[in-house]
Structures are given as structure tokens and as C-alpha cells.
Amino acid sequence: MTQQLLQCVEGTHDYFGAVGRRFAENLATAAKVFALYDYERIVTPIFEPTELFARGIGATTDIVEKEMFTFQPGGEQLTLRPEGTAGVIRAYLQHNLHKDGLLHKLWYVGPMFRRERPQKGRQRQFYQVGCEAVGSSDPMLDAEIIALGLHYFSLLGITGVTTRLNSIGCPACRPRYRSALREAAAPLLPSLCENCQKRYDRNPLRLLDCKRDAAKTAALPDAAAFLCAECRDHFAAAQEFLGGLGVDFQLDRTLVRGLDYYTKTVFEFTHPALGAQDALGGGGRYDGLVGELGAVEMPAVGFAIGVERLMIAQEALKTCNCEPPLPVFGVALGENGKRAICGLLARLRHAGVPAAMDFGARSMKAQMRAANRRGALLALIVGDSELEKGVVVIKDLRGENGEQIEVPLAEFEQTVREKIRVKS
């Protein structure tokens, strides 16, 4: 009996080939851009105590109520992380990073897990790159972190990103706003969707986030009218600093983000290529989260960006050919040539030059086809004849009539490096 072929779970993906290389390039670019802004990478576990997310994200959020993968081995309730910030702050507190009094700028990358209905831009396992700057309430830091995100998009060739910006206040002024929202929304409540009816009591700010009832909630009060003096000044300064950095943004009174820990500045990066779920990522300030999870109050700001969403935008913009050509492909003629090629490629690799070869006993023509399929810039050809003369043939594969020269074995490495540097 033929067994049924097993497939990956719906809402998860395998990444390999061109897509895998694009995925890896996006992560490598993240490492480069975070280093430019003095962020240090942090690696946290993919599962944490469930309580961390209930306290950190908010027990009444959609994520905690409906979307977490939770399991209970041996009586301990654990959850696959649905987002990265709570774990980073847990590590920050556990390892006493707050005691040195310094600003800690941390970045992360890895898989997140949410039990969602899979659709474009929404998966059950998805990757995020994100950063957290913990230890400063300076609004200039809000502006810098937004500029960092936009810098990342530009390095990936993603144009047409819109930055949406809002302030949702702080614990001092938000209660008045929540009360005003409930009062204004009360007459609308019978006609609102089921989610909005639940949010009315638990988190009325999320009424502004509903796409289905957007026309009905458009007239609800604006958070700006209820901000305290400190929040108004902070938001005004953040906008001023963004202008100084040359960052264009749109004020959006409906932007509240979906997690309870946000305070003051919130922002979102959107792109039309993603359709209705148009957010590439977003974040904001969360000055109360460190205190919620530990015994110390510490201001912080951060963001997370969905890697799969980046790739959707790159595909739409045709900026997906991020794979550099393989510099060198070794073509071996006979067993002696195969042994020689193996040694020559090892020398190149130790010198930092990527190289490959064909491991079958195939003809020269077949090996050259393999070199072309891999996009190699140069072919190194070695057989008995070349070994007798102490040379290697270097064939330039760029163009239809590439140059072919013989080079002494002692000089081949330098010649390869010069040809790649000059013509690639």
C-alpha cells in the first residue's frame, strides 16, 4: 500500500531555493542595519511560561484569548511565543540589565506562533525581526527607531512604505479617553460586530481598530483631545525629531495597535502590496511593561516586522533577485583533476571566496551546464593535461564568448580574486 505523502501543517512554510535565499538575505540585512544603530542581538527561547504573555500582552487581547499555542507538560503551562517583546523584557529583568543604568538596545529574529486562520500575510508560524530600546523616555529615541525601520526597508529595495503615527496616551490620561469612547460608542453598540461588543468593556480603544465597523466608529473621539501635557509634549517632540530626520509620516487617529502594553507613541509601517492586511510591521513605546513584569519601572520603545510580509512586498516590487552569483565553479576532468579541483576550491573557500563543484563523474559539457545553472562567474578547469603543465584553466562565464586563460597553479588564487573584483 502506498503511504500518503505528509505535508507541512497549514499556515507554515518550507523555505529553500530562491525563496530561501531571499529569506536569508532579509535576515542578514537586518543584522547589518541593527549594527549601524548600535543594537546587540539577543536570543530567547521559543516557549515561555504562559503567564508571561498573559501579564505582558494583556489577558483580554485576541492573542492571549484565542491565538496562543499553549501546552502543559508535567503540569507547567507553557506557550510558544506569539511575539518577541515580552520574552526580551523577561530576559532583561532576569539578567539584571537594568542595574547598570544604561540604555540597552537589543534586536532579535526568530519564529513566532499564532493559532490564526491562514491567509495572505497571516501564518501560524511566521518570522519576525524586531528591536527593543530599554532605558530611555527620550522622544528622539521614538524617532530614531522609526527611522531605523525605514532604513531597513530601503536596504531591501522596498519602496512605497507609509508610516502611520499616533499617540494613545499613558495611564494618567488614558482612563478619561476610555470613558469618553464608551460613552460615545454606547448608542452604536447593538449594531457593532461581535468582536467590538466584547471590546467595548474590555478595551474600548480597539473599537477604532475594527475594519468591518470603521464607518460606524469614524466619529468616535480622538485620543489627541485627551492627552495629558506630558503626552502632548512627548508626541510633539517625536514628530519634530522625525521631521529633522527627513521621515515622512501620516497621523492616524485610529491607530491603537493590538497589545495592551503600548503607551504614548505608536506607529505602523504599511504597504499596498499586502492588500487588506497591509502592515509590514509596527510598534511603539511601552513604558509600563518592564514594571508590569518586574519590580522596576523602565521606559522602552520597540517594533517588530514580519519577514514573510517583507517578501510579499519584494515580490510585488520585483526586488527579489538578491542572490549574488556563485563566484567559482570547479570543472574536473578525470580522477586526478577531481582531486586537484577539490584542493583548489578549498584554498579559495579559506580565502573567503564561495566555490562549488560537481561530484559526479560527468562530462565537461555537463559540468559546464551545471556551472551556468548555478550562475557561476568563473569556471576552473583541471585535467591531466593541465596538471602536467602545472596550470589551471580559468574560463570567464560572463557573456557568450568569455575569456579563457591558463594560469600557473601558484598564481590561480590571486587571478581569481582580481577577475571577480574587476568584472563582477
Residue at which a domain ends, from 317, 351, 380: 317
Indicate if 358 and 309 belong to the same structural domain: no
Nearest to 209 by CA among 139, 271, 260, 152: 260
Report yes or no on 21 lying in a domain: yes
Indicate if 136 and 25 belong to the same structural domain: yes
- Split into its structural domains, the chain has a count of 2
Q: Domain of 376: which CATH number?
A: 3.40.50.800
Buried b (16+ CB within 10 A) or exposed e, 15-40: eeeeeebbbebbeebbeebbeebebe
pLDDT given at position 379: 95
Express as a percent the part of the chain with pLDDT over 70: 97
CA 83 from chain center: how many Å? Answer: 12
The predicted model gives 189-194 an average pLDDT of 81
CA 356 from chain center: how many Å? Answer: 30
Sheet with 391-396, side-by-side order of all strands: 355-357, 328-332, 378-382, 391-396, 404-408
Indicate if 81 and 162 belong to the same structural domain: yes
More confident residue, 46 or 190: 46
Contacts with 51 (C-beta within 8 Å, 6 or more apart), sequence order: 77
Indicate if 387 and 294 belong to the same structural domain: no
Nearest to 150 by CA among 40, 37, 68: 37
More confident residue, 63 or 378: 378
| pLDDT confidence tier of residue 309, bands split at 50, 70 and 90 | very high
Residue at which a domain ends, from 285, 317, 349: 317
Indicate if 346 and 301 belong to the same structural domain: no
Report yes or no on 52 lying in a domain: yes
The predicted model gives 324-340 an average pLDDT of 90
Distances (CA, A) of 127 to 24, 75, 122, 132, 143: 11, 29, 11, 16, 25
Residue 184 backbone phi and psi in degrees, to 5:
-70, -30
Report yes or no on 98 lying in a domain: yes
Dihedral angle of Cα 176, 171, 133, 245, to the nearest 10 degrees: 30
C-alpha 303/C-alpha 267 separation (Å) is: 9
pLDDT given at position 383: 94
Sheet with 78-80, side-by-side order of all strands: 47-49, 78-80, 70-71
- φ/ψ region of 36 (left if φ > 0, alpha if ψ in -120 to 50, else beta) reads alpha
Report yes or no on 236 lying in a domain: yes
Asked whether the predicted pLDDT for residue 253 surpasses 80, the reply is yes
More confident residue, 252 or 259: 252
Q: Domain of 44: which CATH number?
A: 3.30.930.10
pLDDT given at position 322: 58
CA 253 from chain center: how many Å? Answer: 26
pLDDT given at position 421: 79
pLDDT per residue over 92-141, tens digit each? 999 999 999 999 999 999 999 999 888 877 899 999 999 999 999 999 99
Indicate if 393 and 278 belong to the same structural domain: no
Report yes or no on 213 lying in a domain: no
Report yes or no on 47 lying in a domain: yes
C-alpha 87/C-alpha 49 separation (Å) is: 10
Contacts with 306 (C-beta within 8 Å, 6 or more apart), sequence order: 121, 126, 127, 128, 279, 280, 281
C-alpha 389/C-alpha 218 separation (Å) is: 81
pLDDT given at position 187: 84
Express as a percent the part of the chain with pLDDT over 90: 67
| pLDDT confidence tier of residue 222, bands split at 50, 70 and 90 | confident
pLDDT given at position 215: 74
For the chain, what percentages of helix, strand and coil (3-state, to nearest 5) are there?
Answer: 45, 20, 35
Where does 203-281 have alpha helices with state H?
214-217, 229-244
pLDDT given at position 293: 92
Cell 501579564 belongs to 55
The predicted model gives 405-415 an average pLDDT of 92
Q: Is the dihedral of CA 175, 177, 181, 184 positive or negative?
A: positive
Helix (H, G, I), strand (E, B) or coil at 171: coil
Nearest to 304 by CA among 180, 74, 132: 132
pLDDT given at position 328: 95
Asked whether the predicted pLDDT for residue 199 surpasses 90, the reply is no
Dihedral angle of Cα 240, 306, 19, 353, to the nearest 10 degrees: 60
Indicate if 24 and 97 belong to the same structural domain: yes
pLDDT given at position 188: 81
Asked whether the predicted pLDDT for residue 320 surpasses 70, the reply is no
pLDDT given at position 257: 76
pLDDT per residue over 35-67, tens digit each? 999 999 999 999 999 999 999 888 777 788 889
The predicted model gives 326-344 an average pLDDT of 94
Indicate if 305 and 413 belong to the same structural domain: no
C-alpha 239/C-alpha 243 separation (Å) is: 6
Indicate if 141 and 243 belong to the same structural domain: yes
Cell 567559482 belongs to 328
| pLDDT confidence tier of residue 424, bands split at 50, 70 and 90 | very low
Helix (H, G, I), strand (E, B) or coil at 45: coil
Indicate if 30 and 71 belong to the same structural domain: yes
Indicate if 138 and 284 belong to the same structural domain: yes
Report yes or no on 73 lying in a domain: yes
Amino acid at 71: F
Distances (CA, A) of 134 to 109, 236, 274, 297, 335: 17, 21, 31, 11, 60
Report yes or no on 237 lying in a domain: yes
The predicted model gives 159-178 an average pLDDT of 93
- Which residues form the domain of 337? 328-419
Nearest to 66 by CA among 204, 209, 185, 194: 194
- Note the pTM of the prediction, 2 decimals: 0.88
C-alpha 92/C-alpha 134 separation (Å) is: 9
pLDDT given at position 229: 96
Helix (H, G, I), strand (E, B) or coil at 346: helix
pLDDT given at position 239: 98
Indicate if 53 and 115 belong to the same structural domain: yes
